[in-house]
Structure 1
Amino acid sequence: MLALHARYRGRSTHRAELVRRSAEALATLPGVGEFERLGVEDIRARVETPESLCDTVMALLSDGEWALGLGVTDAAHDAAEAATAALGRAARPGLVRARVLPDATGTAGGDIAAVFLLLGQVLAKRSLEGREATSLMRTGMNQIEAAERLGITKQAISQRLRAAGWQAENAGWQLAVNLIRAAQKATPEEG
């Protein structure tokens, strides 16, 4: 079972509306459930797959104004509660914490959080052009299609993707998926 707890830590004067709109938009991602509002700044949802969880985390990290708690649990534990416990009270923008229950090694949550810390650094250094290019690639376009959509050459899209850290993002995303999947396998379902 997987869940995400997100807390808005930005400076918007209309934070309640921003959080509401963000929850609605995120709930349209494949495999993401409806977000429960836990207050003005907090939203939480259950997520179906490691890929869906990673996509949602990446979307929030790209924004740069959210702190995140992730819950990975077996059937005996509530993933949503684990996500909230992982986040805790003190949360700064870009922070990702994960709680895996049960965690025989005691390291799974820290490993997952570490990958997202590194991915957050890649995303934070990205230019507007890099965000446009990687956004198109994330939808499944190839470089030629993305270049045509942006009205630039294939060489230009390739340069934008390289500068944006596209390969590092893909490698980090896959590592995060693998770590979450391994944590799920280590938390046996009750039958």
Structure 2
Amino acid sequence: MFVLTVDQRGSRRDVDRVAALLDELRDADLLRPFERTAGDEVQAVADDAETVVDLALDLVRRGHWSVGIGVGSVETPLPEQTRAGRGPAFEHARTAVERAKNAPGNLAVEGTDSAAAADADAALTLLATLVLRRTAQGREAVALARAGLPQAQAAQRLGISKQAVSQRLHTAGWPAEQSGRTLARRLLERADR
């Protein structure tokens, strides 16, 4: 099982971004949806590693969040409210989000199997670093690729050549991200065994 604990960075000097985030993530495929747990922090429960990778990288891309992923068991049945959940995955998520505040990419993974969690942490940190280093043009091209648009259609939408789209995707590290997402998913699944 996976618990995501996400804390707004610099919230004392910034507006409260939690309400908007909860609204934007309300349709995410989760066992328990994101819910405000305290102040500027939200928490969710997932059972699908691919969903966790997608959410973690989306949150990193937004740039305002520290993302902690806890891997392990949870007490069942899960309560209706996310914040009422208990178990090692919740405890690991708390440790992870605290570490994420000072980690590269502002993301961390902790788990019952510490070696497997460290492997997942390394893969996700590399992906987070890649995502954070993208230019605005790279982010645009990757967003269209993630939405499933062929390069010719992406080129049309961006008003550039197909070759320019290909170059932007290459420079943005899109091929590496795709492979990295698969690796991160597999490592999270291994950490959850």
- 5 Å-filtered alignment, 1:31-46, equals 31=30, 33-46=32-45
Give the corresponding residue for 2:120: 112
1:147 to 149, 152, 155: 155
Q: Distance in 1 between matches of 2:171 and 2:34?
A: 34
Q: Distance in 1 between matches of 2:74 and 2:46?
A: 14
Query: Does 1:95 pair with 2:120?
Result: no
Distance 1:19 1:75, change over 3 A: closer
Q: Give how far 1:121 is off.
A: 1.6
Distance 1:33 1:183, change over 3 A: same
Give the corresponding residue for 2:93: 83
Give the corresponding residue for 2:2: 2
Q: CA RMSD in A?
A: 2.2
Report SS of the residue matched to 2:38.
Answer: coil
The runs of 5 or more residues in structure 2 that have no matched partner are: 76-86
The runs of 5 or more residues in structure 1 that have no matched partner are: 187-191
Q: Give how far 1:23 is off.
A: 2.2
CA displacement, residues 103-133 of structure 1 (integer Å, 9 cap, x when unaligned)? 1xx3112111111211122112111111011
Retained in 1: the 8 A contact 2:4–2:93?
yes
Give the corresponding residue for 2:138: 130
Report SS of the residue matched to 1:55.
Answer: helix
Please identify, of 119-128 and 81-90, the stretch whose mean Cα deviation from structure 2 is larger: 81-90
Give the corresponding residue for 1:189: none
Residue identity opposite 1:109 in structure 2: A
Residue identity opposite 1:50 in structure 2: A
Q: Distance in 2 between matches of 1:130 and 1:89?
A: 29
1:170 to 178, 182, 187: 178
The TM-score with structure 1 as length reference comes to 0.84
Distance 1:143 1:88, change over 3 A: same
Query: Does 1:183 pair with 2:182?
Result: no
Please identify, of 60-69 and 79-88, the stretch whose mean Cα deviation from structure 2 is larger: 79-88
Q: Distance in 2 between matches of 1:182 and 1:23?
A: 29
**Number of equivalenced pairs:** 181
Q: Give how far 1:100 is off.
A: 1.8
